[in-house]
Chain A
Amino acid sequence: AQSVTQLGSHVSVSEGALVLLRCNYSSSVPPYLFWYVQYPNQGLQLLLKYTSAATLVKGINGFEAEFKKSETSFHLTKPSAHMSDAAEYFCAVNAGNTGKLIFGQGTTLQVKP
């Protein structure tokens, strides 16, 4: 069965600091992994995706994530936080070959000036 765990429901960083949002997955099939961002009062926007090609994936807004099979992790990073990065972030994994996604619990990123 597939599952996703996001460690830390709330992360707070200073503007300009490194952003690290943690995601661990469990999958009985080759995983496809995704990070989504949700700004207040908006839908979800795809940040980046891992689809079994390069293990280091670059996304929009300066975010990137590294797929580590040995650690079953797909952590999201950004070298320098900006105030506009404050949002809710969701990690997701495909539910086998059903076309469905399984979402983590979400991490709220707060950026302090």
Chain B
Amino acid sequence: SAVISQKPSRDICQRGTSLTIQCQVDSQVTMMFWYRQQPGQSLTLIATANQGSEATYESGFVIDKFPISRPNLTFSTLTVSNMSPEDSSIYLCSVNSGGNYEQYFGPGTRLTVT
């Protein structure tokens, strides 16, 4: 398994501003994922971040709104840009570790946009 930390754990932001969320893993991993979990909902994949290449975004998510960096095999950031109240969600990062497609999740970042 992998141990994953996220910063910040929560934040309250003003609309129109941006927030960068950090994800740190205790081991080197190839694939990292960013999810959004809206209140009372399941997880929706935003993008897949592989080191050394551009992130791959899912339908409905664009790089201008959710830029992602992956500078090395243990770290990634997700920025939520030009925020609106609709961006209020929990943002989770995960990694594919141990083979067999299993993913391990960070504790999440709870974002509230006012």
Contact = CB atoms under 8 A, between A and B. Distances in A.
23 contacts: A32-B100, A34-B101, A41-B110, A42-B108, A43-B105, A43-B106, A43-B107, A43-B108, A44-B92, A45-B105, A46-B102, A46-B103, A46-B104, A51-B100, A90-B42, A99-B48, A99-B96, A100-B33, A101-B101, A101-B103, A103-B43, A104-B42, A106-B41
Interface in A12-59: 32, 34, 36, 41-46, 49, 51
Contacts of B105: 36, 43-45
B13 interface: no
Contacts of A43: 4, 92, 105-108
Interface in B71-110: 92, 94, 96, 100-108, 110
Contact of B48 (A100, A105, A106): A100
Interface string B42-71: 110100100000000000000000000000
A27 to B, nearest CB: 12
B31 interface: yes
A110 interface: no
Interface of A: 32, 34, 36, 41-46, 49, 51, 90, 94, 98-101, 103-106
Central interface residue in A32, A100, A106, by most chain B CB within 10 Å = A100
A106 B43 CA distance: 9
Contacts of A100: 33, 45, 48
Central interface residue in B1, B43, B45, B104, by most chain A CB within 10 Å = B43
B78 to A, nearest CB: 15
A41 B31 CA distance: 25
Contact of B31 (A90, A99, A103): A99
